[in-house]
Structure 1
Amino acid sequence: MKIFKWVLFILSSIICIISLVVVYLMYSNLSFIDYPYVISAVVSGIVVILAYRFKVT
């Protein structure tokens, strides 16, 4: 369970960072925000916070 927690944390962190980079690049180059990437970043960020705060006994 401990390994699953860290795998979930790392994968969600990577997805969150990639989504935020895509949003930044699209906004800076096209002045357009693609909302599915924003939603993906927010959901991944929430999963990251929950996975980090989850206590494995």
Structure 2
Amino acid sequence: MGNQHMGPNAQGTSYHVAGHQDNGRQGDALEVYFECITTCSLDDGACVTRCVEELREQP
């Protein structure tokens, strides 16, 4: 029951945003960020932090 909110990337694997940024639009970076955080458990701060860090690394 506690894992029902966990997506495939919530087990410690990194969600990669590379490849989704080919056109360089900031809106795409935000879309990928939101896709990333929806894979995180509601109480998994480390997962959300990884998503934020990957968003910050985008040009």
Q: Which category of TM-score, normalised to the shorter sequence, fits these structures?
A: 0.3 to 0.5
Larger radius of gyration: 1
Q: TM-score, normalised by structure 1?
A: 0.36
More relative contact order in 1 or in 2 (CA 8 Å, sep 6+)? 1
Task: Name whichever structure is richer in helix by fraction.
Answer: 1
